[in-house]
């Protein structure tokens, strides 16, 4: 999970590797955080090499049951805590009906730590923003993941909705009322979406591969009640890559952020849309992820351009047009007049050709 104000050289890391939460050969493995830390170390990107730019904070408060209950039902949270004794006896248990989400004896505690890392990151960025016009970018390197976990239970390898809990914390404790959550994981963040589906103050924007797990996140899912218009789903055709995401950023993400005028931006930063991810079919290169955080292109320093195949750009364009047509009327709500005017113009333009 990443979080940003505007870009500045200070980067805070919060880590929660959840080493006890693991199932052998499972794709969501406890090798994940150490692998990332090793890579950062090798590239000399840790505080050891960049003390003036990078702060790593390992001691932070785990989330409380109250924090988690701002998003999830208390029955689920208490039930999971109780299930830990069974997990201790059996080693591993399945907590999502017949689904794929497991728990071990440490899952409850480690999931509180993961959510606590997000909370602590919000605290740090909010504190730094009060003393600097140039707020820091923070990154919480955490597992178990969270964006599939629905308010009443776990789902899709996810235990607690880490980004959702962080969003509620930003509102409750820091008075950061309007929260934009961008989820660029290859899968739809259905749990985050469910948590805020009728909330006008939390704009949830998800890009994901069309047809991928869990099958939700259609264009027409726009929120409901007073939250109608503050959920935006952009399912991308399989094969979408850097060109697709550049267009999506310019034509959808940036205008939405400008119109919504968030007090804070949280990012559900799953990296499984990368071309080398074996489970999904998008082909973002490392350049796309760098561009999303405002870093200049590394000219494919990390990727082999030869592995990229042709993107379905006509389909991508159609997807962007479709979401623009669905969303512009909603996004006019609550905006000031100049944004209203430019949005109106944008809405009229597609009819000209
Ligand atoms: Zn994913």
Question: Residues 173-202: pLDDT tens digits?
Answer: 999 999 999 999 999 999 999 999 999 999
Whose tokens are 């704009």? That residue is 203
Catalytic site residue from 72, 148, 188, 327: 148
Our answer to whether residue 148 is catalytic in this structure is: yes
* pLDDT tier, 299 (very low <50, low <70, confident <90, very high otherwise): low
**DSSP for 112-169, written as a single string:** HHHHHHHHHHHHHHHHHHHH-SSPPEEEEEESS--TT-BTTB-BTTB-S-HHHHHHHH
Q: Is the per-residue pLDDT at 143 higher than 80?
A: yes
For strands 137-142 and 102-103, give the pairing.
unpaired
Beta bridge partners of 274: 284
Integer Cα distance of 237 and 275 in angstroms = 14
Q: How far is the CA of 276 from the centre of ligand 1 (A)?
A: 13
Q: How far is the CA of 98 from the centre of ligand 1 (A)?
A: 19
Q: How far is the CA of 349 from the centre of ligand 1 (A)?
A: 35
Residues, CB-to-ion distance under 5 Å, ligand 1: 185, 187, 270, 272
* pLDDT tier, 290 (very low <50, low <70, confident <90, very high otherwise): confident
Q: How far is the CA of 19 from the centre of ligand 1 (A)?
A: 20
Q: Which of 280, 286, 277, 276 is nearest to 307 (CA)?
A: 276
Q: How far is the CA of 346 from the centre of ligand 1 (A)?
A: 32
Q: How far is the CA of 164 from the centre of ligand 1 (A)?
A: 16
Q: Mean of the pLDDT values across residues 128-135?
A: 81
For strands 2-4 and 264-268, give the pairing.
antiparallel
* pLDDT tier, 345 (very low <50, low <70, confident <90, very high otherwise): very low
Q: Is the per-residue pLDDT at 346 higher than 60?
A: no
State residue 338's pLDDT score. 45
State residue 320's pLDDT score. 96
* pLDDT tier, 306 (very low <50, low <70, confident <90, very high otherwise): confident
The top-scoring range by mean pLDDT among 208-212, 277-281, 307-311 is 208-212
Q: How far is the CA of 280 from the centre of ligand 1 (A)?
A: 8
Could you tell me the sign of the dihedral formed by the alpha carbons of 281, 285, 289, 294, in that order? negative
Tens of pLDDT, residues 30-70? 998 999 999 989 989 888 898 888 888 778 999 999 999 99
Residue 81 structure tokens: 């805590």
């Amino acid at each position: 999970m990443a979080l940003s104000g505007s870009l500045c050289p200070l980067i805070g890391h919060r880590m929660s590797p959840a080493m006890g939460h693991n199932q052998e050969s499972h794709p969501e493995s406890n090798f994940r955080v150490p692998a990332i830390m090793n890579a950062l170390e090798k590239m000399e990107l840790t505080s050891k090499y960049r003390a003036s730019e990078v702060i790593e904070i390992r001691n932070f408060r785990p989330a409380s049951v109250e924090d988690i209950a701002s998003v999830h039902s208390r029955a689920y949270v208490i039930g999971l805590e109780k299930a830990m004794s069974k997990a201790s006896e059996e080693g591993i248990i399945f907590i999502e009906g017949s689904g794929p989400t497991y728990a071990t004896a440490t899952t409850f505690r480690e999931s509180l730590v993961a959510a606590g890392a997000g909370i602590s990151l919000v605290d740090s960025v909010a504190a730094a923003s009060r003393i600097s016009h140039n707020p820091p970018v923070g990154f919480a390197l955490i597992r178990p993941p969270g964006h599939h976990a629905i308010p009443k239970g776990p789902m899709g390898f996810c235990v607690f909705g880490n980004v959702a809990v962080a969003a509620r914390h930003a509102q409750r404790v820091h008075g950061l009322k309007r929260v934009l959550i961008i989820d660029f994981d290859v899968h739809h963040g259905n749990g985050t979406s469910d948590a805020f589906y009728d909330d006008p103050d939390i704009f949830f924007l998800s890009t994901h591969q069309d047809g991928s797990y869990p099958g939700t996140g259609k264009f027409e899912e726009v929120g409901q009640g007073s939250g109608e218009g503050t959920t935006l789903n952009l399912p991308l055709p399989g094969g979408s890559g850097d060109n697709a995401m550049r267009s999506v950023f310019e034509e959808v993400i940036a205008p939405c952020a400008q119109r919504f005028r968030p007090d804070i931006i949280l990012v559900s930063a799953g990296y499984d849309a990368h071309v080398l991810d074996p489970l999904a079919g998008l082909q973002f290169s490392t350049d796309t992820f760098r561009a999303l955080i405002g870093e200049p292109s590394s000219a494919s320093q990390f990727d082999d351009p030869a592995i990229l195949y042709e993107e379905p750009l006509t389909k991508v364009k159609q997807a962007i047009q479709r979401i623009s047509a669905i969303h512009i009327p909603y996004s006019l709500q609550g905006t000031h007049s100049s944004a209203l005017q430019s949005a109106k113009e944008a809405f009229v333009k597609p009819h000209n050709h």
